[in-house]
Structure 1
């Protein structure tokens, strides 16, 4: 095959890679993108999008199930629900397929050449791609590494058969009877909650002393309460030790061993960057532990080589990668850009959902900042009441001296949709007065944001 020369080569067509390639194409940069599988990466194909589809289907099923059990507060009754799980999966796959085609169309519209194959570096400017048609050599002036991440595998529980990763969970053709989830982080709890609503008996095994240890206890308490309501068994301070024919052998916090029965085992103990198999040793980049080290322009230690997304470290979030990708394309085009984002919001799609943006109260205090905190419960929010979902709150953290907003957190049904408002306030360097003097539509859950700011100023109205 004839060698290809281009100005920009992007390796990996996940959210960061395809965003970078599309923006580069828009800027008139001769761009080639290489992807081993399908455009969209983990997020679109086996992560964010399909998992949210499954979560929504589970919510709908649980809602009808609650009506069938009787005593529904809205007075609605229904016959016992049934689910055609194959149809659910087909619906989920249809969404993924539409988005795949959408990304492919956007790349084509931007004039980006797409190659499907496995890329391997031979030097900092040259990559060999193994395709179905043979070996393709690409030489580029600039290279962007956006290879993403993959699930961590436990040595004593290799993926295969009844032991699955999040990818395997989203490819199941039936609802497990008994599901053991190893890892009480956001991935495990999102999927575990969904399968519990669909009828599985779920047990969560978490080595730390509480679930979702990356979030503060106030945010996770409503989630833990709802897990109990769904009859999900949560074992904290417990470690999975070995696989058994009937399930998983677990060592409890007290040092005793017990067996958790399971026909399916979902391992969600973290993700690691994909840095193996594409010739990293040939270019000898400076690493930061398992991640590729970058500066505030996503430049690596080798001139002309950029890296972005999960392969560069935490937070491993698609929206971080997309923002980096857009920035890198503009830098390559000659624009002056640096990474100076104040807020990268994080959302946990549990039930209820959790959102964090900026600093928590403890993080702000640890930095030596004197703060004021305002918090407003959804129990006092009219819209939350009308939805029948009153669990949770909105919290705002600000400097005590000038009321600059430092962080916003919340937990509640559908609160992920407030993440943009939270981040915008932080990026715009809003003060408590800015939020308090912004009219929030009534009745909406966003009023909780307004009331939290008023509370921090000392004059909340509705509590």
Structure 2
């Protein structure tokens, strides 16, 4: 077996891995990247973030054509869904972006190996697959991401009882779809298939949807999604899901079984570390994750880890920031990620976005705060769009007025949260945000109004 030597080898070509590889090459390191898939981009690009957003966009436009254009005086007759064309567009978008990463690898002279990697020693891995090679390096970064979490009793078959991967490519619109899990992934795909015509029932073990988000925003979201047609069963423990002939049966503790055509299991994700040979290095997992220090270094010199395999939220942009910080730490001696300012977005309609602390977190920590809320019903731009459901919420320290958290449920919330994250990164106060002149009419004016509302000075409510 051939042996090749590099300065740095990145294991995993997802958002964290490929970004780390590019930054390493920019800083002058001879870099290689190993991934088991033929195409680059990882779960996010191939079977996660990107394809799901394509389906969300297509389904939103279909729903608008069916029911939303009439309020604008646009009469549309004979609207129909061409699902194969929708799926084809999804694949085209993914293909274009994966080709783009290939181009970036060529531009930066990064060597790509396809196969699964396993450590032989702290400075050597073996790759087996399309490429069979041994790679030696002074530094290794583990960026192998995550996989869908299993649930005892749920019998996945990849056809009728599926994970989010298969739910991105249903060959037909389910007549009845049961979604197990009301987190980001479950709700996004629930909305996709509900808009396309499925009857969707969402089962959640907890007493609320969107665990981890601000509770007030989550409650507002549930009301909106219910009006859109989703059915929710909270405080529900699923004991089994199995296929019976041409349909599925989902059994729940203390309730009647549910019959449906398809089941989507979306109860979260778990780190993907199997097969890496970490035991040969003496690296022990902590709650399934690889323990690292502030420089993303493991207990083994020269071996680092980033993204979903370490602590923190399993988000593509978090992994990207860690990849850059890790490489800059290796080369320049310093790198930093502010974990208090990792924004999160749910790409439903309206979108849900947040950065910073929730009210519950502030209460738990005994931090005094004030809040300002501005409803979109009072936004001129929201009125022109015909989308007035939602609100913006700003949390600020009661004594210093420093921004502590911003939470939105609004059209394009994912775009607006960037302003809040930037403001908080520079230590802005609610007063600072309120004094910034926002263009009129825009949705972002509502963020300014919410900042004004912290001090009871909102103008338009």
**Normalised by the size of structure 2, how large is the TM-score?**
0.96
Partner of 1:138: 135
d(CA) in 2 for partners of 1:217 and 1:74? 33
Worse overlay, 361-370 or 374-383: 361-370
Which residue of the partner structure matches residue 154 of structure 2? 157
Deviates more, 1:235-244 or 1:300-309: 235-244
**Alignment RMSD:** 1.5
For residues 209 and 287 of structure 1, what CA distance do their matches in structure 2 show? 30
SS of residue paired to 1:179: strand
Contact 2:371 2:396 in 1 (8 A): yes
**Residues 363-412 of structure 1: CA deviation (Å, up to 9, x unaligned):** 12322221111111111111111111111111111112121111111111
Distance in 1 (CA, whole Å) between partners of 2:153 and 2:398 is 51
What is the match of residue 330 of structure 1? 328
Tell me which residue corresponds to 2:33.
33
The count of aligned residue pairs is 456
The answer to whether residue 47 in structure 2 is matched with residue 46 in structure 1 is yes
Using the TM superposition, give the Cα deviation of residue 260 of structure 1 relative to its aligned residue in structure 2, in angstroms.
Answer: 1.5
Partner of residue 114, structure 1: 112
1:230/1:402 CA distance change after superposition, 3 Å: closer
Equivalent of 2:216 in 215, 218, 232:
218
Aligned partners of 2:273, 2:358: CA distance in 1, in Å? 32
Aligned with 2:186 (options 180, 188, 203): 188
SS in 1 for 2:332: coil
Tell me the distance in 2 between the aligned counterparts of 1:429 and 1:100: 37
How far the C-alpha of 1:343 sits from its partner, in A, is 0.1
Tell me how far apart the structure 2 counterparts of residues 244 and 138 of structure 1 sit (CA, whole Å): 44
Alignment of 1:188-267 (within 5 A): 188-242=186-240, 243=242, 245=244, 246-251=247-252, 255=254, 257-267=255-265
1:51-90 to 2 correspondences below 5 Å: 51-66=52-67, 72-90=70-88
Q: Could you list the per-position Cα deviations for residues 167-226 of structure 1 after superposition, in whole angstroms to 9, with x for gaps in the alignment?
A: 011122221121111111111111011101001111111111122232233212332223
- Correspondence for 1:177: 175
Secondary structure at 2:67 match in 1: helix
Moved segments of 4+, more than 4 Å? none
Equivalences for residues 368-447 of structure 1 within 5 A: 368-447=366-445
Match of 1:15 in 2: 15
Is the Cα–Cα contact under 8 Å of residues 67 and 77 in structure 1 kept in the other structure? no
Q: Cα deviations across residues 299-342 of structure 1 (Å, max 9, x unaligned)? A: 11111111000010330000000001111111121242233454
Residue aligning to 1:101: 99
Cα 1:248/1:347, change in 2 over 3 Å: same
Q: Gaps spanning 5+ residues in structure 1: where?
A: none
**For the residues of structure 1 that align with 2:214 and 2:399, how far apart are their CA atoms?**
25
Question: What's the CA shift for 1:230?
Answer: 2.9
Residue 283 of structure 1: how far off its partner (Å): 1.1
- Map Cα deviations across residues 101-138 of structure 1 (whole Å, 9 max, x no partner): 111111111111111111111111110001325x3000
2:145: which partner in 1?
148
Say whether the 8 Å CA contact 2:160–2:243 is kept in structure 1.
no
- Describe the shift of the 1:244–1:8 C-alpha distance in structure 2 as closer, same or farther (beyond 3 A): closer
Partner in structure 2 of residue 453 of structure 1: 451
Contact persistence 1:222–1:352 (CA under 8 A): no
Q: CA deviation at 1:229?
A: 2.3
